Amino acid sequence: MTHRRLGVFARVCALAVLVGAGLSMPAFAHHSVSGQFDVKTKVVLTGIVERVDWVNPHIYVHLKVKDEQGVESVWRLNTVPVGMARAAGITKESLFAGGKPMKITIFPARDGTKNLGFATRFEFPDGKFIQTSPDRE
């Protein structure tokens, strides 16, 4: 390979590294739970899981909840990655709780976005629970 070709190759590689690094920055930023969610406020929701997005980088649980007036809303709950869920004994099927109501403790969205939270504890209808985040009380 000539010096000229090596120079072009080196510039292309350097550009690829810079582009790759730039694209990966948002991936690092999105992992800040305390940046997106109010970790000083806990909310306990009771409802029925209607959908689970079993995806990386984080699982999303869609929980149908009724408020005091009986008005239904669906909460979108971010939680741990698939690998961590499996290690904790959580499966996609178990999150549906057989269609029965379950309690999920969350940190609400820091910016006030309605019906968005980070799930930290799943309490199943039989009383068993799985804590997916350290208790910050």
pLDDT for 14: 45
Secondary structure (DSSP) of 92-117? HHHHTGGG--EEEEEEEBTT--TTEE
pLDDT for 7: 55
pLDDT for 135: 64
Bond from prior residue into 57 cis (ω within 30 degrees of 0): yes
Phi, psi of 99 (to 5 degrees): 80, 5
Tell me, what amino acid is at 12? V
Q: Where are the alpha helices (DSSP H) in 30-135?
A: 33-36, 82-87, 92-95
- pTM for the complete prediction? 0.74
pLDDT for 76: 98
Q: How far apart are CA 68 and CA 58, in angstroms?
A: 30
Tell me, what amino acid is at 23? L
Q: How far apart are CA 56 and CA 101, in angstroms?
A: 25
Q: How far apart are CA 7 and CA 4, in angstroms?
A: 5
Reading the chain (137 residues) residue by residue, the pLDDT tens digits are 555 555 555 454 444 444 444 444 444 445 578 889 999 999 999 999 999 999 989 999 999 999 999 999 999 999 999 999 999 889 999 999 999 999 999 999 999 999 999 999 999 999 999 998 776 54
Structural fold of domain 33-131: OB fold (Dihydrolipoamide Acetyltransferase, E2P) (2.40.50)
The ranges assigned to domains in the chain are: 1-30, 33-131
Find out whether 112 and 87 touch, Cβ atoms under 8 Å. no
Tell me, what amino acid is at 94? S
